[in-house]
Chain A
Amino acid sequence: MRKDRPCILRVEDVTMQFGGVVAVNNFSMEEYEGEIVAIIGPNGAGKTTAFNVITGVYAPTNGRVSFNGAPVIENFPRGKMKKAYLGENAGKYTRVMEPTPDRLTALGMARTFQNIRLWKSMTVFDNVLIAKHLKRTSNLFSATFGMNRAEEKQQREEADALIETVGLADVRDDLATSLPYGKQRRLEIARALATEPVLLLLDEPAAGMNPQETVELTRFIGEIRDSFHVSILLIEHHMDLVMDISERIYVLDFGSMIASGTPAEIQANEKVIDAYLGVTDDA
């Protein structure tokens, strides 16, 4: 743990309840600058829900998320939820902050998706270039009347540089959806990097990849962390990848965190082995 560094992301007591189902229960975690942290857990453990809460897709039922030292998301059981709430820490939070995902991206969070969500009708270059829209200083009129030439040129150069860095220069003008799966994943990461994030959230980056592609991806994620100075939070099923690159791991099962620690600690943890790798019957 890099506790000497500033805390990038702090999740406190986050509970996400849909109707009567508690998808994430009292989840807390921290991530420090420059770390690679993984959230793992069996199918349906609430990993993606936790992810969606952190990135603003869902407003949590209760809890707080702080980013770069300042609280950005906070909620408590209100309205109908007041009675229906099944989680803990009901009275602890009193503010309501429900930013939309684009606000969080503007603050420096960028994510990829479990089932790739590239802009289908556009080229690799355009996919990266659009992500640069966030960094514009031009308004509607200056953009329409072409008074932002310098900015436009700079955005294009930055997008090109990024495409070069992630090794997609040879397919720059191809349709995003015509790329092989591994490259689409890479493009999604490049697109997220174009928003100049400090925290990169990867939702199952190795899903559907073969072992060779997974090895390449593992190296790629490490490189990104070092060359773009980002912290990385990832959800993953591939144990090889998780154990290889993450410095700390949080394990979710049925919405609750059952363990956290270094890969070595997690591998030795009885509860994790039971929950995640399956209980071995004493046959």
Chain B
Amino acid sequence: MRIAKTPEESRFISWVSFFAVLIFLGVVLLLDQLIKPTSSMYMLLTVLQKGSVYALAAVSMNLLNGYTGLFSLGHAGFMLIGAYTYAIFTIPSTSRDTVYQYYDAAVRFSFPEAFSKAMGPAGTALGVCVAVILAGLLAAFFAWLIGLPVLRLKSDYLAIATLGFAEIIRAVCQWQKLGPVTNGSNLLKSFARTSKFKVALGGMKLTLSTFVPVLIATLSVILIVKLINSTYGRAFKAIRDDEVAAEAMGVNLARHKMISFTVSSFFAGVAGAMMAMVLSIAQASNFKSAMTYEILLMVVLGGIGSTSGSVIGSFLFVAASEWWLRGLDSGSFLGIEAPNIFRNGFRLVVFSVIIMIVVLFFRQGIMGEREISDLILARRRKRKGASK
């Protein structure tokens, strides 16, 4: 259960989380400088990069599925819109023709280029920011369009309809006729990507390839948490708990569901843009419904209705599948050499077993409905009680 906080305690928690976030960002920035791509620890940075993409995707899905009680499975579709929007609007004009090798590129505009012409190097960063926000906005716009008919549906029907729309988005993106915009079923590349993010600071060159995605994810998650804790977030929870009662108490269902759906999709779009910049390619065939299920799994593992749970769940998921269990695919795991068993695909077997165990023994996910702040507060109360 979540803990009801006193005003003093919520002040305490906001200070603690403020400093925790600062320290976390500082550490990431430091690691970014210390770990070189050739280092064996570079996997840690990869996990941080991909983990932050998935963390934002999971938190935004949780806003919809966990806090508003709308079981939607369209996340991959909105991430795709975000990824493509970001990619298309950051491809520099010099490499545009090589990217669109079979088509005549329709969008001949790149935000980083346009801004850097006007403002110098700072403009590049601004251009990337604008492209990310545009990615979110476009995803939100499509969510709004899809939401008009779809949000009248409930539970499983909503899930099926959103799943269908996500697949339609993917199919449309791969459509030959849209080739000049989306490059058809070919991948988009050469756009602004994190591996190129560097900033010169008084003679020193800072690498930002991990810091930037982590920063974007952190800021977005903070915004989502603020929304959840606001009066709108409370109305979302009311809809989740009892729609009829919420409506009778003056919560406009259509409006609030739409807000939740578009905001969730906005951040899905941002996560999609981040995914493009981290992977440095964008291809529609990556954004299959399997991606939605992966994100859903992270939400469930972390605990439906817990933001910190979603974040923890996604980092654990990414770390396990990309790093810790890697050895299961390549011959040696935990010092055991068994090339005949540990070969391609075995990792997925172990991974599925782990997930089953987690779901069986932590029915509520790792965090249940609690947040990290609830755990800290519970300890603090205990300590205070003991000292009295």
A266 proximal to B (CB < 8 A):
no
Residue from the list A111, A123, A134, A145 in contact with B251, Cβ < 8 A = A134
For A122, the chain B residues whose CB sits under 8 A away are 237-238, 241
Q: How far is the CA of A146 from the CA of B226 in the complex (A)?
A: 8
For A275, the chain B residues whose CB sits under 8 A away are none
Residue from the list B4, B230, B237, B246 in contact with A173, Cβ < 8 A = B4
In the bound complex, do residue B245 and residue A102 qualify as a contact, i.e. CB atoms below 8 Å apart? Answer: no
CB distance from B2 to the nearest CB of A (A): 8
A61 proximal to B (CB < 8 A):
no
In the bound complex, do residue A101 and residue B247 qualify as a contact, i.e. CB atoms below 8 Å apart? Answer: yes
Closest to B241 in A: A119
For B352, the chain A residues whose CB sits under 8 A away are none
Q: How far is the CA of A227 from the CA of B252 in the complex (A)?
A: 28
In the bound complex, do residue B242 and residue A195 qualify as a contact, i.e. CB atoms below 8 Å apart? Answer: no
For A30, the chain B residues whose CB sits under 8 A away are none
In the bound complex, do residue B223 and residue A119 qualify as a contact, i.e. CB atoms below 8 Å apart? Answer: no
CB distance from A99 to the nearest CB of B (A): 11
Which of A12-20, A135-143, A209-217, A232-240 sits within the interface? A135-143
Closest to B238 in A: A130
Q: How far is the CA of A103 from the CA of B253 in the complex (A)?
A: 11
Q: How far is the CA of A132 from the CA of B232 in the complex (A)?
A: 11
For A105, the chain B residues whose CB sits under 8 A away are 248-250
Q: How many residues of A contact B (CB 8 A)?
A: 43
CB distance from B244 to the nearest CB of A (A): 6
Q: How far is the CA of A144 from the CA of B263 in the complex (A)?
A: 11
In the bound complex, do residue B248 and residue A133 qualify as a contact, i.e. CB atoms below 8 Å apart? Answer: no
CB distance from B53 to the nearest CB of A (A): 22
For A131, the chain B residues whose CB sits under 8 A away are 249-250
Closest to B227 in A: A144
Closest to A134 in B: B250
A152 proximal to B (CB < 8 A):
yes
A95 proximal to B (CB < 8 A):
no
List A residues 123-166 near B (Cβ within 8 Å). 123, 125-126, 129-134, 136, 138, 140, 143-146, 148, 152, 155
For B4, the chain A residues whose CB sits under 8 A away are 123, 125, 172-173
For B252, the chain A residues whose CB sits under 8 A away are 100, 102-103
Most buried by A among B223, B234, B250: B250
For B1, the chain A residues whose CB sits under 8 A away are 175
In the bound complex, do residue A120 and residue B250 qualify as a contact, i.e. CB atoms below 8 Å apart? Answer: no
In the bound complex, do residue B231 and residue A152 qualify as a contact, i.e. CB atoms below 8 Å apart? Answer: yes
In the bound complex, do residue A119 and residue B259 qualify as a contact, i.e. CB atoms below 8 Å apart? Answer: no
Q: How far is the CA of A280 from the CA of B269 in the complex (A)?
A: 71
A256 proximal to B (CB < 8 A):
no
For A173, the chain B residues whose CB sits under 8 A away are 4
A192 proximal to B (CB < 8 A):
yes
> Which residues of A are at the interface with B, using a C-beta cutoff of 8 A?
55, 57, 100-103, 105-106, 110-111, 113, 117-123, 125-126, 129-134, 136, 138, 140, 143-146, 148, 152, 155, 172-173, 175, 191-192, 194-195
Ranked 10 nearest A-B pairs via Cβ:
A134-B250, A105-B250, A173-B4, A119-B241, A143-B230, A117-B245, A144-B227, A131-B249, A101-B247, A133-B235
Q: A130-B235, A144-B227, A152-B231 are in contact. List 12 more A-B contacts (CB 8 A).
A: A102-B247, A119-B238, A130-B246, A133-B231, A134-B250, A138-B231, A144-B230, A146-B226, A175-B1, A191-B249, A194-B249, A195-B250
Query: What are 21 pairs between A and B in contact, CB < 8 Å?
Result: A100-B247, A100-B252, A102-B253, A111-B248, A113-B244, A117-B242, A117-B245, A119-B238, A121-B240, A122-B238, A130-B251, A134-B249, A138-B230, A140-B259, A143-B227, A143-B231, A144-B223, A144-B226, A155-B231, A173-B4, A175-B1
